[in-house]
Amino acid sequence: MKRLTDLEYLMLPKWNKFWYKFLMFFVDIPANLWNGIKGIGGSIASFFKAIGREFADIGKTFAEGDWKTKTSFLVMGFGNIARGQILRGVLFLIFEIVFVWYMITPFGGAYWVQMLGSLGLQGPEKGYDEILDQYISIPHDNSFRILLYGVLTIFFIVAFIYTWRVNVKQNKIAEEILKSGKKLKSGKDDLRSLVDDQFHKTLLALPLTGILVFTVMPIIFMILVAFTNYDGAHNGYTNALFTWVGLDNFKTMFSWDVGGVNYAATFGEVLTWTLIWAFFATFSNYFLGIFVAMMINKKGIRVKKLWRTILVLTIAIPQFISLLYVSKMFTLNGLINGALLNFGLIDKAIDFWGDPMLARIMVIVINIWIGIPYLMLIATGILMNIPADLYESAKIDGASGWKQFSKITLPYMLFITGPYLLTSFTSNMNNFNVIYLLTGGGPTNPAASGASGSVGFTDLLITWLFKITTGSDTKYYLASVVGILVFIVVAFISLVVYNLLPSVKNEEDFQ
């Protein structure tokens, strides 16, 4: 592939431009990777440099600071209190007390962190109690808790170090301000600034805390599980402890023969279907949604509101009701087959969910039923925003309806909804509800039997992952590996597509 100059590129026909960009992305991968690695190397270097600077600054603060500052190194907030910033000082102090108490309390922070390396030493065992004629369990460690609270404690320690550093820095700044003869901010000033120039911190505090604890922490935990042998037989507290196994689980996932199961092929098959599904689910909804929107919006169509209202019913009604019901309608002896047989259209019931190909087509078709209304709503809004004079001039040029659509409507839609298409593609890759409620992943894929989670022909990576965690052997570690791979695939696709989007827009344009 020859690299083109800017001029040559601009002269290419439209589709060639697209392909050029598409191919160049892959051509550029090695170079970009190398740059990325260099970039990471650079950031690591600058990170350590920054750490070095921090230490130097801390040392300097200690050496040059007065006794209030020096005491603050041990008793956080002391300097603030001594200099009259009571509110700040008390908060620092409380935080330090809580932290120290938590770390040294028996089986508190120190215990969890220290156990992280082994994930528990003493597994559960049974003893016989003759008097009551029963078996009792002997006290033991709990791997799950060690991992969970170990991670939380590390979060806590990092937060403490950071706060301590802020505490030191504040002393230094306060000293400088006092030296220059200015006044320090009072607690009242602090509070006021929280609704004014520091308002964003107030606004973000709660949402970010929630995300940190309920999204980031579980994801870190999940990633860590991929490096353990946590499964039904090693659940960490009632049967056996789990422990670190390094990269074994990734090796399993990419092996041709693990206990007779070809995990690599199974994964490849599920991934392929996931991508096919996401492609069809996204674009079938997209084009049909636009088509329906154009029909409803056409001049002279009556009761527009009624059509829209009927269509959006599928958004309004919870999917576990509608999809579960639709799935039952298409069973071998369900309503649809019954009706077709009665009308004599078929002479043998169609096994919609039993035939792999048919089941795959069915989930895509039924997904249209769920998905069109969203697109219809979006397209309605955009269609109304297309400048009418574009159509006027097209009409004067004698362009046909189809020409208008392909030359004006579609490009305009594609331009505006580019990012939406991308997110809808990735969210379709993770469309759990439609697949799980309609087919449960079935029909079973004989080639993959024996693989954890009994893989079916319509299983997406996400439903497979779920089935692993609820299947007969609950291999959580394998589910974690799948989860990480889903992330990698989604991230890769997003990167590729984002690179190609015509409307990578400057967010300030809209303001």
Partner 1 sequence: MKRFVAIALALVMVFAMAACSGGNTQQPASNTPANNTPATNDTPATNTPATNTPATNDQPATSALAGTYNIVVWTGEAAVELTKKQIADFNASNTDGITFNAEVNPVSEATAADQMLVDINAGADLYCFAQDQFARLVQGGALNKLGVKAAETVAAANDAGVVGAATVGEDLYAYPLTSDNGYFMYYDKSVIPDADVDSLEKLIADCEAAGKYFAFETNTSAWYLAGWFFGTGCVSEWTTDSDGEFVSVNDTFNSDKGLIAAKGIKKLVDSAMNLSSSSAAEFANGAAIVVTGTWAYNDIQAVLGDNMGVTDLPSFEVDGQSYHIGSFNGCKLMGVKPQGDDTTKQAALHKLAQYLTDEERQTERFNELAWGPANLNAQKSDAVQANPGLAALFAQNAYSVPQGQIHGAWWDIAKVIADDVKAATDEAGLKQALQNYSDKIAALFTMTAEEKQAWSAIGAIVGTSWDTDIPMNKVADGEFETAALELHAGEEFKVRQGASWDVNYGKDGVAGGDNCVVEADGTYKIHFVESTGMITLIAQ
Partner 2 sequence: MNENKTPKRHLGLKASSAISNSIIHVLLVIISIIWLIPFVCIVLQSFRVESTYQVGYVIPKQWGLDNYIKLLDTNFPQWYFNTFICAVVVSVTQTIIVLCMSYTLSRFRFKLRKALMQFMLILGMFPGMLAMIILYRVLDDLHLTGQYGSSVPGLILVYVASSGMGYYVSKGFFDTIPKSLDEAARVDGATRAQVLTKIILPLSKPIVIYTILTAFMGPWGDFVFARYVSQMFPGAMNVAVGLQSWLATDTMTFNNYTLFCAGGVVVALPVAILFMCLQKYYVEGVTGGAVKG
Among 29, 104, 213, 410, binds partner 2 (CB under 8 A): 213
Q: Binding to partner 2 by residue 465, rule CB under 8 A?
A: yes
In terms of CB distance, is 148 or 350 closer to partner 2? 148
Of the candidate spans 5-13, 50-58, 167-175, 483-491, the one that interacts with partner 1 by CB under 8 A turns out to be 167-175
**Under the criterion CB under 8 A, does residue 510 sit at the interface with partner 2?**
yes
Rounded Cα gap, residues 181 and 6, in angstroms: 59
- 149, 160 Cβ separation under 8 angstroms: no
CA 409 – CA 401 distance, rounded (Å): 10
Of 215, 255, 393, 449, the one binding partner 1 (CB under 8 A) is: 449
Report the partner that residue 399 touches, choosing among partner 2, partner 1, none (CB closer than 5 to 8 A by kind): partner 2
Q: Minimal CA–CA distance to 453: which of 470, 476, 431?
A: 470
137 binds, among partner 2, partner 1, none (CB under 5 to 8 A by kind): partner 1
Minimum distance, C-beta of residue 199 to partner 2, in the bound complex (Å): 4
How far apart CA 174 and CA 68 sit, in angstroms, is 11
CA-to-CA dists, residue 12 to 24, 29, 406, 503, angstroms: 14, 23, 19, 19
Tokens of 145: 């808790």
Q: Which option in partner 1, partner 2, none does residue 450 bind, with CB closer than 5 to 8 A by kind? A: partner 1
Q: Is 208 helix (H, G, I), strand (E, B) or coil?
A: helix
Please provide residue 226's backbone torsions phi and psi, each rounded to the nearest 5 degrees. Answer: -60, -15
The vertex-71 CA angle with 65 and 76, nearest 5°, equals 110
Which range touches partner 2 (CB under 8 A), out of 65-73, 241-249, 277-285, 372-380?
A: 372-380
Which residue, 125 or 509, has its beta carbon nearer to partner 2?
509
The conformation of residue 234, written as its DSSP 8-state character, comes to: B
Nearest to 231 by CA among 244, 242, 220, 219: 242
Which residue's CB is nearer to partner 1, number 286 or number 466?
466
Which x/- pattern over 221-250 shows residues binding partner 1 (rule: CB under 8 A)?
A: -----------xx-x-xxx-----------
Q: Among candidates 434, 163, 77, which has minimal Cα distance to 274?
A: 434
Q: Which one of residues 180, 333, 472, 506 is an interface residue with partner 2 (CB under 8 A)?
A: 333
Amino acid at the residue 508: E
Contacting partner 2 within 64-83 (CB under 8 A): none
Single-letter amino acid code for the residue at 137: S
Rounded Cα–Cα distance for residues 267 and 264 (Å) = 5
Of residues 5 and 333, the one with the C-beta less far from partner 1: 333
The one of partner 2, partner 1, none whose footprint includes residue 163, by CB under 5 to 8 A per kind, is partner 1
Pick the binder of partner 2 from 72, 380, 428, 439 (CB under 8 A).
380
Question: Rounded to an integer, what distance in angstroms lies between the CA atom of residue 113 and that of residue 95?
Answer: 19
167 contributes a contact to partner 1 by CB under 8 A: yes
Give the integer Cα–Cα distance in Å for 22 and 4.
Answer: 13
Is residue 179 a contact point for partner 2 (CB under 8 A)? no
Tell me the three state secondary structure of residue 180: coil
Binding partner 2 (rule: CB under 8 A), the pick from 22, 73, 283, 420 is 420
Site for partner 1 in 335-394 (CB under 8 A): 338, 348-349, 354
**Integer Rg of the chain from CA:** 31
**Contact flag: residue 260 with partner 1 (CB under 8 A):** yes
Question: Is residue 452 at the binding interface for partner 2, with CB under 8 A as the rule?
Answer: no
Q: What residues between 124 and 163 interact with partner 1 by CB under 8 A?
A: 124, 126, 128-129, 131-142, 145, 148-149, 152-153, 155-156, 159, 162-163
| 208 lines the binding site for partner 2 (CB under 8 A) | yes
Tell me: does residue 216 bind partner 2 (CB under 8 A): yes
Please state, in angstroms and rounded to a whole number, the distance separating the CA atoms of residues 358 and 352. Answer: 6
Q: Tell which one of 29, 208, 306, 339 touches partner 1 (CB under 8 A).
A: 208
Give the DSSP H or E segment for 378: helix 356-385
User: Residue 309 binds what, of partner 1, partner 2, none (CB under 5 to 8 Å, by partner type)?
Assistant: partner 2
- Residue type for 345, please? L
Q: For residues 181 and 178, give the distance between their C-alpha atoms in angstroms, rounded to a whole number.
A: 5
Q: Show the binding pattern over residues 465-494: x = contacts partner 1 (CB under 8 A), - = does not.
A: -----xxxxx--------------------
Q: Which range binds partner 2 by CB under 8 A, 4-12, 126-134, 259-267, 487-495?
A: 487-495
35 binds, among partner 1, partner 2, none (CB under 5 to 8 A by kind): none
Q: Residue 135: enclosing H or E segment and its boundaries?
A: strand 134-138
Binding flag, residue 1, partner 2 (CB under 8 A): no
Nearer residue to partner 1 within complex by CB, 404 or 444: 444
**Closest Cα partner for 448 from 279, 278, 259?**
259
167 binds, among partner 2, partner 1, none (CB under 5 to 8 A by kind): partner 1
- Check binding of 195 to partner 1 (CB under 8 A): no
**CA 450 to each of CA 73, 265, 359, 383, 468: distance values in angstroms, whole numbers, following the listed order:** 59, 13, 22, 51, 12
164 backbone φψ class: left, alpha, beta (φ>0; ψ -120 to 50)? alpha
